[in-house]
Amino acid sequence: MEIVAFGVQADERPLLEKAFDGHHQVRCLDVFLNRDTAPIAHGYEVVSTSVNADLSAEVLQTLAAGGTKMVAQRSTGFNNIDLEAAADLGLTIGRVSSYSPYAVAEFAWALALAVNRRLVRAANRTRNFDFRLDGLLGRDLRGRTAGVVGTGRIGEAFTRIAHGFGMNLLGWDLAENPECVALGMRYVPRERLFAEADLITLHVPLVEDTRHLVDAAALAAMKDDAILINSSRGGLVDTAALVETLKAGRLTGVGLDVYEEEAGLFYFDRSLDVIDDDTLARLMTFANVLVTSHQAYFTEEAVGQIIETTVANVEDHLAGRTSEHMLVTRGQLPSAAR
């Protein structure tokens, strides 16, 4: 059988082709799935999509009308998928429920260290043989407080590294993670975490309850010299409120691997275009803000595991099986999701 895979990164393509070799043929496309590209999937029973694919009801209807029975999403988050619509259309939706949490946790740390120690500014300067230290003053993290919002797999991996740095640990989650408690984490109300942490990192999924979790009130509660890192989903942060906070000269640094309006921007070369997103454009003007293009997951290990699970998901679908990676199985949502 031939599968069509949308949004395949150049580095990912040989890994994807190798993984499906001997199982199925895979047609790799660098375009992302959306309402314009959905007709390409006509006639393909299995369609694989990547983060930022548009899997709204409209796109799912186009896929189903073209004969698609399964969507194999190559990511964990599924805030981009209309599961109810998929169920109503009788589709199967697979995702990768977990893979190397270290990829994302280590990247969140890379952002945290880079903004704390002004690494990008420093590197840009030395490239121009400007060896001054003006404006590069950072802070020791040892003895400061890390606030981990969401202490699941990635939050726990982040916490282990924070523990290694000798930081005090505050956590907020629906459920306490005993591994984090064993490292000395104290679970506190969200407001207290925002008020007391020097470094705040977000690792909850984007759901209705967590949308704009970092809003104007949360930003106002943060220490003036706090660092904010978001490597989860852009919609967790009210970016307009963040811009106002930065304009007021607050926050030492912000590292964002995700942005609420990233679809259509991230993963594309837009360097020659007029950028009409004023919020993002303003965000980029702050010297203490570092934005990356949703790359936290992009390690050999994580991409390898994502692909391995995607192949298994396709095989499960073809054999009529379900698994913990299936969000919808032949139109059936797990009862908790309804």
Ligand X SMILES: NC(=O)c1ccc[n+]([C@@H]2O[C@H](COP(=O)([O-])OP(=O)(O)OC[C@H]3O[C@@H](n4cnc5c(N)ncnc54)[C@H](O)[C@@H]3O)[C@@H](O)[C@H]2O)c1
Q: Considering the rule CB under 6 A, would residue 112 count as an interface residue with ligand X?
A: no
By the rule CB under 6 A, 147 interacts with ligand X: no
Pick the closer one to ligand X by CB: 59 or 204: 204
- Residue 262 among the catalytic residues: yes
Binding of ligand X by 203 (CB under 6 A): yes
104 binds ligand X (CB under 6 A): yes
Whole-angstrom CA distances from 167 to 140, 163, 198, 218, 305 are 10, 6, 10, 22, 31
Q: Shortest Cβ contact with ligand X: which residue? A: 152
With CB under 6 A as the contact rule, the residue among 10, 133, 174, 336 that binds ligand X is 174
Task: Confirm or reject binding of residue 234 to ligand X (CB under 6 A).
Answer: no
Contacts with ligand X, 35-74, as mask; x by CB under 6 A: ----------------------------------------
* Residue 186 one-letter amino acid: R
Q: For the chain, what's the residue count?
A: 338
Choose, by CB under 6 A, the member of 34, 62, 210, 309 that binds ligand X.
210
Give whichever of 20 and 78 is closer to ligand X, judged by the CB atom.
78
| Minimum distance, C-beta of residue 129 to ligand X, in the bound complex (Å) | 35
Looking at the DSSP bridge assignments, the partners of residue 291 are 256
Identify which range of 8-16, 153-161, 178-186, 319-327 contacts ligand X by CB under 6 A: 153-161
Q: How many residues bind ligand X (CB under 6 A)?
A: 29
Tell me the sheet residues that pair with 73.
49
Which residue among 76, 100, 245, 288 contacts ligand X (CB under 6 A)? 76
Helix (H) or strand (E) holding 112: helix 101-116
Question: Of 118, 153, 317, 325, which lies in the binding site for ligand X, with binding defined by CB under 6 A?
Answer: 153
Q: Which conformational region is residue 90 in: left (phi greater than 0), alpha (psi within -120 to 50 degrees), or beta? A: left
Structure tokens at 191: 């407001």
146 φ/ψ angles, rounded to the nearest 5 degrees: -95, 130
233 is catalytic: yes
Q: How far apart, in whole angstroms, are the C-alpha atoms of residue 317 and residue 2?
A: 14
Q: Which of 74, 118, 233, 260 is catalytic?
A: 233
Query: Which SS3 state, helix, strand or coil, does residue 148 take?
Result: strand
What CA–CA distance (Å, rounded) separates 200 from 183?
17
d(CA 162, CA 1): 46
CB 52 within 8 A of CB 75: no
CB 146, CB 162: distance < 8 Å: yes
Binding status of residue 133 toward ligand X by CB under 6 A: no
State which of positions 270-299 bind ligand X (CB under 6 A).
294, 296-297
Minimal distance, residue 247 CB to ligand X, in Å: 26
Radius of gyration of the chain (CA): 21
Does position 336 interact with ligand X (CB under 6 A)? The reply is no
Return the active site residues.
233, 262
Give the footprint of ligand X on this chain (CB under 6 A): 76-77, 98, 101, 104, 150-155, 173-175, 203-207, 209-210, 231-233, 257-258, 294, 296-297
